[in-house]
Every structure is written in C-alpha cells, then in structure tokens.
Amino acid sequence: MNRSSDPNIGYGVNITAVPEGATKPLSITLANPVGLYMDEVAANRITDDQDRPLSGWFKFVRGKKGYGLHAEFSPPPGDTRALADVLVDGEPLQSGAQIARLIQMVVYAATADLGAPMSPLHPPVFRACVPAGTDLSNLAKVNLSAGWNPDRTCMVQGADESPPINQADAYPELFALPAAGGAAPTRRRNFSSTRNA
C-alpha cells in the first residue's frame, strides 16, 4: 500500500470520529471550506546570526493563521537584516524547504452523531502480491515475470503469473475462507486505525 498523504492527518481525522475508548462512532466529513491549510510556523526556530527570533518575517499574503493559503518570508519594513542573516535550526537559510518544514498544517473535520454502528477496526495490511506460502521476510528472492507492471492490480496481473497468483491466497487477511464444504468466501473490509491531525 502506498500513500502520499501525511499519516498524521489520517490519524487526527479518525480519532475525531472514533475517540479512544469509544463504543459508538461519529459520522465525519471535512469541514467547509475543504482544504489543507497553514496554521503557523515554528518561529522560535528561525533566528538571525545573533540567535534573535525574527518576529514579523513570516506573513500570510492569502488567508490567515489557521486558514493560510499563501505565505512569504521576508524582512518587515524597517528591518535592516537580510535573508543572508537568517538561520533555521542553527543552519544558514539556503532554501524555502527549510522554512516549509516548520509550518504546521491543519485540516478541519465536522462530526455528527447519525447513529451509525461501530465499524470493526483492523490493522492495515502490508503484503506483497505473491503466491501463497511465500516467505515474506525476504521478498528479494521472489521472481515475478520480467514484464510485471506495478500499476496493474494483483487480481488482474497475478492471474497472468505462472503459476497464477490467486488474490485470496496473496491477501488472506482480506478474504474469509469458506468452511469445509461451506459457502464461497466473503470479502472483509480492512479499516486502518491511523488518524489525522
């Protein structure tokens, strides 16, 4: 499973809907206006070469604290110091990424008690698409076909492998196995327990 979003965001939103010890969940959505916003910068970690904090240098030019969309970092009017005098965590400022790392980002969620039942929580599944019985501790020894395309799903491309990879075998956590002589397998949903900030 790959994800590009910050797992802390997922954790914070989830814990808002299902707080620790909850027996009933809240329904949740992103609050209006939907967005990922800048809240504030850790200004005490941005100083001049005399270790003095640079008050007023970080300014929102679009939005405001808590709802910032565009900010700039520059000396306020009348300040004689220049960007060459700036230290970030004691290191000379060389790129905007040093300051971006210090910006607290926020997303807002809205909740309501709509009487939904509690969903079963299961840990995330981290599993390669490999034949059943594969030793997952050393995937370097697993040889998939030379033309394996990671953009295709295990279900589609696994069927083309020799021997074929059955999706229910590759991901047993996602599929209930039938009882002997019983009904066909039923799919279980896998819920992540991470939360958003």
**Range of the structural domain that residue 105 is part of:** 7-112
User: 131 in a domain, yes or no?
Assistant: no
Q: Contact, 64 vs 71, CB < 8 A?
A: no
User: What are the tens digits of pLDDT across the range 76-113?
Assistant: 999 999 999 999 999 999 999 999 999 988 888 888 88
Query: SS3 for 28?
Result: strand
Measured between its terminal Cα atoms, the distance across the chain in Å is 21
Q: How far apart are CA 112 and CA 28, in angstroms?
A: 7
Specify if 165 maps to a domain: no
User: Does 40 reside within a domain?
Assistant: yes
Is residue 188 one of the residues assigned to a domain? no
Would you say residue 95 lies in a domain?
Answer: yes
CA distance 25 to 80: 55
Nearest alpha-carbon partner for 79 in 96, 98, 61, 56? 56
- Report how many domains make up the chain: 1
* Residue 51 belongs to a domain: yes
Lowest mean pLDDT among 11-15, 164-168, 191-195: 191-195
**151 within a domain of the structure (yes/no):** no
pTM of the model: 0.53
SS3 label, residue 15: helix
Own/partner pairs, 52-55, CB within 8 angstroms, 24+ separation? 54/81, 54/86
**Which pLDDT score, from 0 to 100, does residue 60 have?**
95
Residue 79 belongs to a domain: yes
pLDDT at 36 over 70: yes
